[in-house]
Structure formats: structure tokens, C-alpha cells
Structure 1
Amino acid sequence: MSKFKKKKSGELPPVSTAALPDIVFMLLFFFMTVTTFKKDDYKVKQELPYADQVQVLNKDDKVIYIYAGKPSSRYQKEFGTQAKIQLNDKFADVSEIKDYWFNEINNNPKLGQQFQNIAITALKVDNETNMGLIADIKQQLREINALKINYTTRKGNVQQNFK
């Protein structure tokens, strides 16, 4: 005779949920560290021109972006089809560029006042934008001595711009 009897029921023991909060927080921490957020919502058309001699900016470069082009299709009813300037997530007038540039310098911890002379202004301009608008933007940047200007392009054959 045996002292111990085995229960032969077909039930499985309940699953332990003690480690579940640890797993949830570990996943939450993982996604918080690897997720990047989109900086700007493009309200202007962004079909960049082609260039055959391009240089990639380093991540360490202090860059301020100005977008220009025709409003995208969902904004054309409200703003028309003429080329506009976009600063951050809003349409702006040429006269607002100076204030925007200084705000980006002063409010961005990556830039700061000491980087005012080395900050690069990157113009992301649609290939169908009127050159007069670009000249107005450059004139505003000249007045505040922001002379380092980068034209953002796509790598390719220049002849593709004339199609």
C-alpha cells in the first residue's frame, strides 16, 4: 500500500500571472526608447529636385528647416495653389522667417545662442516653386546673418528636373 495517492484529474494548474506586470513594463520601456516621432507634418508639396553632387549632413550639424512649395491637395481649398512657406507645422509669411529662425536657435537645446554662427538653414523646396519666393527667403536670412544655407535635394541626374 502506498501512503500517497496521485490525483488523476485532467485539470491543468492555473497560469501564474506574477511576472505579467514585469513583462508589460519591459515592453513599454522598449517601445519608449526605440520609437521616434515625426518632427513636422508636411503641408506643402515636397517633390525635391535632383542633383548629381550631393553631400549628406551629419547628425551633429545644427540644422533649421524651412519648407516651401505649393500647398498639398488637402490644403489647397483653404490656402490656394500659390507656393507657400511652412515653418514647423504652420504656413507662414516671409516676414516671419527671422523670428522663426531666432526662436529655433534659442529654444532648441541642441542649438543654443553659441551656435548662431554655425547653424545651417536647410531649404526644402519643391521643384516647381517660383524662384522669387526662394530669393525672398534668402534675403530674410541675409538680414539676420544666417548665411549657411543648404538646399535639400534627391540624388540623381540633373536632367530629370526638366521632364
Structure 2
Amino acid sequence: MAHFKKKRGNATPEVSTASLPDIIFMLLFFFMVVTVMREGERKVQVVVPQATQLEKLEKKSLVNTIYIGRPTKKYQSIYGTQPRVQLDDKFSNHLDGDIALFLEQHKLKVNEQLWGQIITSIRADRDVTMGIVQDVKTALRKANQLKINYSATPDAEKMNAMN
């Protein structure tokens, strides 16, 4: 009678890679769903002023951004070269109504408990006159948006001189 020998080697079994493509595609789809792309195109030129005392905003989802500046070359033939106010991806012609609608649309995206923490950030070109910025601030006040932030870049020279 024949005896069968069991092979007892030190080799470990190989890890199956058959499910690896499934895992990669699941991760790919996850990141595609979760990633937020920039929603609008900036139609105005904005070079923000420099400042020495800056504060970084923590919750970006609670920030509305209003751009104020001259239209880019692509839009100058349509809108001219005078400074304009851009809300989302369109220019505003009637500040009071457009800003109120802009704020309400943003509130719909935010949890109701966080409405009091919403901040409007004004990104105004440094060459824009304060008249148009004051008009935007007045429209924000009428829409009961009282938390306003002015965007700026750090002034490295003055900050180094202060330290």
C-alpha cells in the first residue's frame, strides 16, 4: 500500500490580489464624490491689499465671498472697464436684491444652527474706490449680514519690521 506524504514547508500562502481593483475603484469613486470643485469662474481682476494684522478664517463653508474689481480682459468688451461686483459667477446690477438673494442661497447650503456664524468676505481690488465697497456694505447691512471680513495678503516687510 502506498503512503501519501504531507508536504510541510515553511512557505506562507500568497495574498490574493483579485479584489485589489475593486478596492481602488471604490476609493476613486469616494474621492470623486467627496471632492468639491470650484463652482464659479472669477470674472474680475482682484489684487487684494496688504495688511500686517491678519486672522485666518477657520470654517470655509461658512464664508460667502464677494469679489469687487475690474472685469478681466475676456469680459471687458461686454461689461466695460469700470469696477464691478461679482456674486458667485455673475455680475450684480442691483446690489440690494442680488446680495440678499446671494446670502439666502448660501444659507440653504448651511445647517440652520450655524446661520449666525456666516461671514461675508469682501475681496476687493486694492485700486477700487471705497464708494463701491461702501455700497456693498450698505446692501449687506440691509440684508442683515453684519459679520464682514476684508481679504488681504500679509505685508512681509512691515511684519518683519514689527518683530
CA distance in 1, matches of 2:53, 2:40: 27
Percent of aligned positions that are identical? 39
Change (3 A) 1:82 1:146: same
AA partner of residue 125 (structure 1): A
* Offset at residue 85 of structure 1 (A): 0.6
Unaligned 5+ runs, structure 2: 1-17, 159-163
CA distance in 2, matches of 1:158, 1:117: 36
CA distance in 2, matches of 1:34, 1:119: 22
Q: Identify the range of structure 1 (58-67 vs 87-96) with the bigger mean alpha-carbon deviation.
A: 58-67
* Offset at residue 33 of structure 1 (A): 5.8
Match of 2:72 in 1: 72
Is 1:101 aligned with 2:127?
no
Unaligned 5+ runs, structure 1: 1-17
Match of 1:145 in 2: 144
CA distance in 2, matches of 1:148, 1:43: 25
TM-score when scaled to structure 2? 0.73
Change (3 A) 1:35 1:146: closer
CA distance in 1, matches of 2:137, 2:157: 23
Q: Identify the range of structure 1 (48-57 vs 20-29) with the bigger mean alpha-carbon deviation.
A: 20-29
Match of 1:118 in 2: 117
* Offset at residue 32 of structure 1 (A): 1.7
Is 1:53 aligned with 2:53?
yes
Match of 1:131 in 2: 130
Change (3 A) 1:146 1:30: closer
Match of 1:25 in 2: 25
Aligned residue pairs, count: 139
Q: Which has the higher helix share?
A: 2
